[in-house]
Amino acid sequence: MTHTTLSELRPHPGRQEGGGTRTGFLAGPPTGYAETEDVLAELTLVPPLPECCARTEATVMLHMVHTLHMGRNGLVVRCETPRYEAAYRLAALIRSVWTHRVVIRMQDDGVTMALDIEQEGRNLVRLAGLADPWNRPHVTPAVEPSTRCCAIAALRGAFLVSGHMGIGRTFSRAQFDFPHAATGAFLAALAQHQLGSPLTLMEREGKLVLATTTRQLTAQFLEELGAPANASRLGSSDVVHSAAA
């Protein structure tokens, strides 16, 4: 069994979402709150992964950020994200699992990172299950995590590219925004069946949101994903969060 090395997954020092700099991800909000950037910084340093988990995490990340284009050498898989650290982690996972040549570049806006897989784009589409034989995209990630570790990897990948910490009345909650209901339902069911840690799927301000609803569930969820330092900020008090908060 192969493992992705920690050095491959380590983000570029001093960079964060939006192109700013960090002074240390533990110097931040008081107990009860956790910032998105702090959680992302901790998740990008999750230790080496078994191949099955690396494949699952990469597949979910690809599913949520990729688009397909035709280039000079055929089909191109392009992944765009404003999250610098997530882009580098995804590139490392792709190289580890599928050994594809990945080109990473900064977009002209100075914020968005783009990953282009050109020479073997069609193979990646097939191997990662991004689309059917007619290049029609699948509505949910092409993974069926049957183990706890792979379920965690799937949810971690989703959080790295689309998750953030929303502010409730008395604590931070883990939250995902999805353009498609099927993806949110898929991840909600995964969290429920494999982790026993339910996430609530709801519509908020016209967006589909998947979120934890109590302080205890948020801390448990962050611990499961691989962010224990941020989970410890939330403590263990079980404060119910109103859906209207």
- 30-88 pLDDT, tens digit per residue, is 455 778 889 999 999 998 789 999 999 999 999 988 887 777 777 788 888 888 888 88
Range among 63-72, 130-139, 146-155 with highest mean pLDDT value: 146-155
Residue 18's nearest CA partner among 80, 103, 110, 89 is 110
The residue behind tokens 């998740």 is 43
Average pLDDT, rounded, for the chain = 76
Question: What pLDDT sits at residue 56?
Answer: 93
Is residue 28 predicted with pLDDT exceeding 50? no
The residue behind tokens 């493992």 is 3
Query: Per-residue pLDDT tens for 102-118?
Result: 888 777 676 778 888 87
Is residue 9 predicted with pLDDT exceeding 70? no
Mention every residue, 6+ apart, whose C-beta is less than 8 A from residue 209: 175, 176, 177, 178, 184, 201, 202, 203
Structure tokens at 234: 């939330």
Q: How far apart are alpha carbons 148 and 224 in whole angstroms?
A: 10
Mention every residue, 6+ apart, whose C-beta is less than 8 A from residue 136: none
Residue 177's nearest CA partner among 65, 71, 92 is 65
Q: How far apart are alpha carbons 100 and 77 in whole angstroms?
A: 11
Residue 190's nearest CA partner among 58, 66, 57 is 57
pTM metric for this prediction: 0.79
Q: How far is CA 141 from each of CA 76, 131, 242, rounded to the nearest angstrom? A: 19, 10, 30
Helix H or strand E segment including 150? helix 148-162
Residue 183's nearest CA partner among 223, 137, 121 is 137
CB atoms within 10 A of CB 148: 12
Is residue 155 predicted with pLDDT exceeding 50? yes
Query: Per-residue pLDDT tens for 195-240?
Result: 887 788 877 776 778 888 888 888 889 999 999 998 888 764 443 3
Q: What are phi and psi of 187, to 5 degrees?
A: -70, -35
CATH class of 6-234: alpha beta
Confidence class of residue 100 from pLDDT cuts 50, 70 and 90?
confident
> To the nearest whole percent, how much of the chain has pLDDT over 90?
17
